[in-house]
């Protein structure tokens, strides 16, 4: 409409965590067409790691409010526009839907779009149907690179214990420390799809992107360690696990010396158990599972492939967890529960009954809801 008032600003869903482009809306603090002050809370959103108040950067009048409590939203989605004068409902018929990146159908975070443009990626070639993060663009860039010659100082250090670490974030640091403490697997180099960011991880050189995997395997590197945590985007961790598998690497089970694993417990390929964790009698841990710091997997529990027990999570006896689920920090589950696949359990949640596939249990919540 030509007479639609001009907004002074937009309020959008922020990217709270690069690994989690989607959030859960747990509170909406403004009404449509109400007065708003700069710094006033507009809504509250939640990821698996944080709860964030979204504040207005503008003073004025709120237009249409395009989100609601319990709704899922993605980084960049429009919450509302702010106007200098109080708008009338009929004037805002042309208010925008959630933001989409160019071209139509391709949705990116701002950082992802910036990186794509910096690297000369043709945006029209990007996949549609999901929100693309910086990590997605990094992976695309990595696939297009050619490996240079592996430096002599790395070639000379290759041994039967050598491992390439895929990923250069916080999980990579934890795994490098863990391997050095164990001593049976040695971090040789890091592969990261955006190698220009950093030169090393705790002194382990960043060689380049995934283009180096084949040359490293041909050089005789036996092991690869998946250091892509990808909370809420477990699909990223799975894709890296499968890539390393296709490249012919063994993905070792890694258990911190300060963790406890019962003799009768079983850990599958690529499982990672961190300091202070306990995997108790007859528990079965699937492929690529992360049992994080101080998490407890009690007797006879079964954890499906690629699931992640965050720090301090506690599962009582005979609990089963499906594939690719996240049990948040400090969450607890009573005995005999079945927790489905692709479940997200928020931090501090208490589970008292079975949780169906795909369920999201809010942080601090109780399941089933009272």
Q: How confident is the model at residue 110 (pLDDT cuts 50, 70, 90)?
A: low
pLDDT of residue 94: 43
- The residues that bridge with 320 in the sheet, in sequence order, are 302, 338
Q: Which two tokens stand for residue 62?
A: 């709120």
Averaged pLDDT, 104-117:
74
Question: What are phi and psi for residue 13, nearest 5 degrees?
Answer: -65, 125
pLDDT of residue 1 exceeding 50: no
Q: How confident is the model at residue 200 (pLDDT cuts 50, 70, 90)?
A: very high
Q: pLDDT of 202-211, one tens digit each?
A: 999 999 889 9
pLDDT of residue 130: 66
Strands (E), 145-194: 162-166, 186-191
> Lowest-pLDDT range, 229-243, 265-279, 296-310, 314-328?
229-243
Determine the Cα–Cα distance for residues 186 and 173; give it in Å rounded to an integer: 13
pTM of the model: 0.68
pLDDT of residue 53 exceeding 60: yes
Q: How confident is the model at residue 2 (pLDDT cuts 50, 70, 90)?
A: very low
Instruction: Compute the CA torsion angle 19, 21, 25, 29 (nearest 10 deg).
Output: 110
Computed over its alpha carbons, how large is the radius of gyration of the chain? 23
Q: How confident is the model at residue 70 (pLDDT cuts 50, 70, 90)?
A: confident
pLDDT of residue 314: 98
Query: How far is residue 129 from each of residues 107, 132, 138, 295, 357, measured CA to CA in Å?
Result: 8, 9, 18, 35, 21
Q: Do residues 62 and 32 lie in contact, with contact meaning Cβ atoms separated by under 8 Å?
A: yes
Report which of residues 20 and 297 the model is more confident about: 297
């Amino acid at each position: 409409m030509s007479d639609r008032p001009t907004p002074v600003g937009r309020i959008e869903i922020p990217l709270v965590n690069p690994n989690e482009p989607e959030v859960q809306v747990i509170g909406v603090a403004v009404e449509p067409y109400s007065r708003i002050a700069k710094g006033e809370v507009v809504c509250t959103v939640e990821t698996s790691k944080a709860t964030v108040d979204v504040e207005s950067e503008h003073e004025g009048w709120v237009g249409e409010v395009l989100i609601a409590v319990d709704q899922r939203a993605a980084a960049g989605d429009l919450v509302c526009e702010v106007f200098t004068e109080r708008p009338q409902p009929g004037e805002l018929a042309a208010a925008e839907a959630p933001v989409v990146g160019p071209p139509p159908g391709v949705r990116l975070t701002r950082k992802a779009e910036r990186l794509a443009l910096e690297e000369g990626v043709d945006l029209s070639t990007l996949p549609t149907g999901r929100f693309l993060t910086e990590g997605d663009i990094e992976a695309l860039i990595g696939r297009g690179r050619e490996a240079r010659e592996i430096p002599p100082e790395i070639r000379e250090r290759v041994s039967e214990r050598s491992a390439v670490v895929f990923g250069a974030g916080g999980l990579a640091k934890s795994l490098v420390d863990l391997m050095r403490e164990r001593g049976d697997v040695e971090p040789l180099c890091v592969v990261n799809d955006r190698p220009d960011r950093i030169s090393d991880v705790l002194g382990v050189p960043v060689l380049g992107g995934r283009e180096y995997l084949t040359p490293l395997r041909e050089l005789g590197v036996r092991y690869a360690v998946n250091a892509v945590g990808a909370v809420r985007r477990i699909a990223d961790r799975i894709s890296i696990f499968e890539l390393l598998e296709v490249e012919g690497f063994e993905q070792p089970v890694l258990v911190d010396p300060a963790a406890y694993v019962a003799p009768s417990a079983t850990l599958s390929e690529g499982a990672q158990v961190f300091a202070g964790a306990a995997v108790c009698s007859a528990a079965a841990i699937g492929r690529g599972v992360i049992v994080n710091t101080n998490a407890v997997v009690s007797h006879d529990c079964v954890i499906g492939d690629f699931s992640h027990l965050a720090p301090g999570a506690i599962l009582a006896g005979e609990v089963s967890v499906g594939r690719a689920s996240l049990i948040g920090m400090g969450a607890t589950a009573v005995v005999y529960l079945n927790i489905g696949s692709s479940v997200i359990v928020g931090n501090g949640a208490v589970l008292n009954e079975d949780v169906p596939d795909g369920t999201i249990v809010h942080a601090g919540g109780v399941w089933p809801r009272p």
